[in-house]
Structure 1
Amino acid sequence: MGEECVSGDFTACVRREFPALAHKAYLDSACIGVAPLRAVRAVTDLVQGMQYCPAESGTAMHGRLNELRAQARPLVARLIGADAADIALTESATHGLKIALESLPLRAGDQVLIPDLEFIQMGIMWRQLKDRGITVRTVPHDESGRVTVDAVRAELTRDVKVLALSSVQWTNGFRADLAALSELCRRRNVWLVVDAAQHLGALPLNVRQTPVDIVVCGGHKWLCSPFGTGFLYLDPAVRPRLRRPLAGFFAARPPARTWGESFLRPDITPLQDYEFSEDAYAWETGGTGNYPGAVGLSASLSLLLELRPQRIETHLRTLTDYLTEGLDRLGLTVVSPRDPRHRSGIITFSTGRAATDTALMGSLLAAGVAVSVRFTSGVGGVRVSCHLYNTLRDLDALLAAAEEWQRRPRRNGRPPAHTRSQPRSAAARIIGQRALIDALDDDLMGLITARGGVSRGIRRSRLEGAMARTDLAREREIVERFHHRLGQDGTRLALELLRMCKGDT
């Protein structure tokens, strides 16, 4: 499938990877992305395999799981133009930001700048450094919802040691001029900390071309990864100046070739001096990791890399141009920047009032169009997230539902507010239910394929052991189990499964 995505049609590849979205207008990736089929299968295969512990021992299995988790680092590095040694795996953007805050060499009297449009988490976390004598100030946005380089420059006093910002803002999709901010921070000797959670997966970023000291990113939004995944990038030039956080032994170098081999040494003790790497993985927690999440992240990243970030950006530009034109026709106010240099996959629009924005969102949700409403510092509205799996048909559904909402009878010049108690239309419910059926069918087909692979492995083992190709007693046991759960239909299903898997049980 990967080769087809590299050389084949973009739309066809995306359709294969996201079959559950064929009949659903999901435009809310800035909140939660949708996992591709390969990520779902990777997680399922790992979890199902754990019931067999396929390695020869628990120690060997744990080592294998660590190796699988580590495979995500070079894929992250490729995505942002870094080296694998520069990447630490985290559970979220928040986790990465926490490590950054604890690692930066800040002192009492130092100041941190953040835009006033920032995601709430950014402000909450930096404000907690107040007891260390560190203050946080905001850079104001202009009348068009931008945080300009000039505005940042105006706030850069001698006490400012950190500029922390989201490269794409969560409410209006404003895309910062990272190149100019990077140059400014280097001239002023200011740390540049970037939250790329609303950026990566939708837009390219190359840290060699645009130097950034620290990048944090969660996986569950535009990277389309399972929850509990993310990464932290640490510029190798600045790592020697960072405090390394407390970490477990997996973040240290083993005294032997592997930690499994180290445990065999009689001289190992808990209080001996262990050496930590200068690579970014030394900033990880160093304990047992989120292995299913890591393999899911790797699978999702492999898809993004095959489709190519530049091609995804071009696709999103087509979608956002189309949406902006449609919103203009309806007379709805586009809140997001129109300048292509500051555009992202997020297009936010407004009716002019927060209450009616919320009412319109409710109407869109009832029509089967998934969007959000977000505000920060007075900027926001109905937020639409256009991602690689979205199509012009999704946007037509949104525009048609918005136009229908505008045509409803008005009270005091305003459309009636939508409440969550209003039932969704039967057609909208059917669309959602069909999407679920499609997803379940894909799971079933994936499980059948996996079952066939296990059956072939059993056949090879029986042949190597000079046993009969088929164990009739085992087949009878399978049929009886299916019959017990599903009756006669279960019997027929079991026999068909045995046939498809060639009876190699």
Structure 2
Amino acid sequence: MDHAAVSPLTRDMVYGLSMRADDIMENGAANYADWKDDAIQTRLMYAQLLGSLPDEIAFVNSTAEGVNLVANGIEWHPGDNVVLTNVDYPANIYPWMNQQRHGVTIKWVEEREDGRIPVEDLAAAIDDHTRVVAISFVHFVNGYRNDLNAIGDVCRERGVFFFVDAIQGLGAIDLDVREMKISALAAHSRKWLLCPGGLGVLYVDRDVLKDLHVSNPGANSVVDAANFLDYQLTYRDSAQRFEPSSLNPIALSATRAMLAMFTGLGMGYIENRVVSLTDMLCNGLEKKGYTLRSPRRANEKSGIVTFSSDSDDIDAISAKLTDACVFHTKRYGMIRLSPHFYNTEKEVELVLNLL
């Protein structure tokens, strides 16, 4: 019940991981061609999951790395500004604040008292000097799902680069980068995609690819990557230009196994399950007198449910859940639960009975 933190590992994922680890233990790099196939297939499935082209996909080590590659790749000018919210995770804040050394200013949009960030508030913050709007798909504290379609429309109309940190939605809620007019997106797979650490994804729209400076080039960034002593800094004509070196074959094999499951089941089915379980959880919490902190209008729902109590001690509630092996997050005087599609109604009932 804590996928918004770190997800458990599935048998399929562990099999993919151990299979490649055993292969390397016994054969070294003899099966390098299989590693390359893992990379090709994983890239294809990430593209399918995001609604992008495979050559718009790069692998990164973390969400923060993806954000930094984009933030450091923009050609900034003094007076430019970036629109951020005051409730985003630091991975999608500090890389943009770091651009203040180039004369960039930050325009903060504050979360409203009801936990929402209306599109009109973001639109009002955009001016003639705004270069980027950077926002989370789903907010990590209360699970509010931003209206990426509407925000994307505003950014496209205003000529603003639209960046999304998707780590708290990718794998739980369906999204389409093309339909949402997203310029670039970063996420890791260790939460809702049920993978171990070590491999995340960066999407960069082909229309903006060549506008981004490659801030961290390496041997794998260039067209003739295998010709090591011919130093021609001619970047690949794809998002792979942002992959400076060899990829982690064990993480690739594990991620491939999990993405095959997600694309096989379909994000429509997965989202419906996640929303159904969290609806059940929210209804039960409200009946028991808890205060929901997660906005739950139809287009705002995610896999995160956050609640507080006016009468019970949150520390005591957290201890009770922990004693019953119900994994959760306690933060800011609230409890956050985040079930996934494979959780069951009986498990939701068990949590509610504990409360």
Verify same fold: TM over 0.5.
yes
Residues 1:290 and 2:248 aligned together: yes
Residues 1:83 and 2:53 aligned together: yes
Q: Which residue of 2 aligns with 1:277?
A: 236
Answer 1 or 2: higher relative contact order, Cα 8 Å, separation at least 6.
2
Choose which of 325, 330, 337 in structure 1 pairs with 2:295: 337
In 1: Cα distance, 2:41 partner to 2:118 partner: 38
Q: Which residue of 2 aligns with 1:16?
A: none
Please state how far the C-alpha of 1:92 moved relative to its aligned partner. 1.3
Q: Which residue of 2 aligns with 1:324?
A: 282
- Aligned residue identity for 1:269: L
Q: Which residue of 2 aligns with 1:365?
A: 322
- Aligned residue identity for 1:35: L
In 1: Cα distance, 2:197 partner to 2:132 partner: 29
- Aligned residue identity for 1:87: I
Q: Deviations over 1:277-298 (max 9, x none)?
A: 110011112x122111111111
SS at match of 1:136: strand
Q: Which residue of 2 aligns with 1:449?
A: none
- Aligned residue identity for 2:329: S
Q: Which residue of 2 aligns with 1:35?
A: 9
What is the count of residue pairs matched by the alignment? 355
Choose which of 264, 267, 288 in structure 2 pairs with 1:309: 267
In 1: Cα distance, 2:34 partner to 2:286 partner: 54
Residue 119 and residue 358 in structure 1: after superposition, are their counterparts in 2 closer, same or farther (change >3 A)?
Answer: farther
Please state how far the C-alpha of 1:66 moved relative to its aligned partner. 3.4
Choose which of 201, 222, 232 in structure 1 pairs with 2:202: 232
Q: Output aligned runs, 1:159-238, within 5 Å.
A: 159-238=129-208
Residues 1:392 and 2:345 aligned together: yes
In 1: Cα distance, 2:59 partner to 2:40 partner: 8
Q: Output aligned runs, 1:150-165, within 5 Å.
A: 150-165=120-135
Please state how far the C-alpha of 1:156 moved relative to its aligned partner. 1.2
Q: Is the Cα contact below 8 Å between 1:369 and 1:397 reproduced in 2?
A: no
In 2: Cα distance, 1:132 partner to 1:68 partner: 39
Residues 1:250 and 2:220 aligned together: yes
In 2: Cα distance, 1:158 partner to 1:103 partner: 21
Please state how far the C-alpha of 1:161 moved relative to its aligned partner. 1.2
Q: Deviations over 1:99-128 (max 9, x none)?
A: 111112222221111111111222222222
* Mean CA deviation greater in 129-138 or 305-314: 129-138
Pairwise CA RMSD: 1.8
Q: Which residue of 2 aligns with 1:489?
A: none
In 2: Cα distance, 1:367 partner to 1:51 partner: 39
Q: Output aligned runs, 1:33-182, within 5 Å.
A: 33-53=7-27, 58=29, 61-182=31-152
Q: Displaced runs of 4+ in structure 1, greater than 6 A?
A: none
Please state how far the C-alpha of 1:62 moved relative to its aligned partner. 4.1
Please state how far the C-alpha of 1:316 moved relative to its aligned partner. 1.2
**TM-score normalised by length of structure 1:** 0.68
- Aligned residue identity for 1:133: G
In 2: Cα distance, 1:367 partner to 1:64 partner: 43
In 2: Cα distance, 1:197 partner to 1:246 partner: 22
Structure with bigger gyration radius: 1
Q: Is the Cα contact below 8 Å between 1:358 and 1:382 reproduced in 2?
A: no
SS at match of 1:238: helix
Q: Deviations over 1:323-350 (max 9, x none)?
A: 1111011100011012011110111111
Residues 1:356 and 2:313 aligned together: yes
Q: Deviations over 1:212-262 (max 9, x none)?
A: 00010101000111111110000011112111233222222227xxx3xx4
- Aligned residue identity for 1:289: L
Please state how far the C-alpha of 1:61 moved relative to its aligned partner. 4.0
Please state how far the C-alpha of 1:393 moved relative to its aligned partner. 1.5
* Mean CA deviation greater in 153-162 or 94-103: 153-162
SS at match of 1:345: coil
Q: Is the Cα contact below 8 Å between 2:134 and 2:162 reproduced in 1?
A: yes
- Aligned residue identity for 2:313: T
In 1: Cα distance, 2:95 partner to 2:177 partner: 24
In 1: Cα distance, 2:78 partner to 2:306 partner: 39
In 1: Cα distance, 2:46 partner to 2:100 partner: 33
Residue 71 and residue 245 in structure 1: after superposition, are their counterparts in 2 closer, same or farther (change >3 A)?
Answer: farther
> What percent of counterpart residues are identical?
28
SS at match of 1:369: coil
SS at match of 1:168: coil
Q: Output aligned runs, 1:486-505, within 5 Å.
A: none
Q: Is the Cα contact below 8 Å between 1:35 and 1:300 reproduced in 2?
A: no
**TM-score normalised by length of structure 2:** 0.95
Which segments of 5 or more consecutive residues in structure 1 lack a partner in the other structure? 1-26, 263-267, 403-505
Q: Which residue of 2 aligns with 1:451?
A: none
Q: Is the Cα contact below 8 Å between 2:186 and 2:202 reproduced in 1?
A: yes
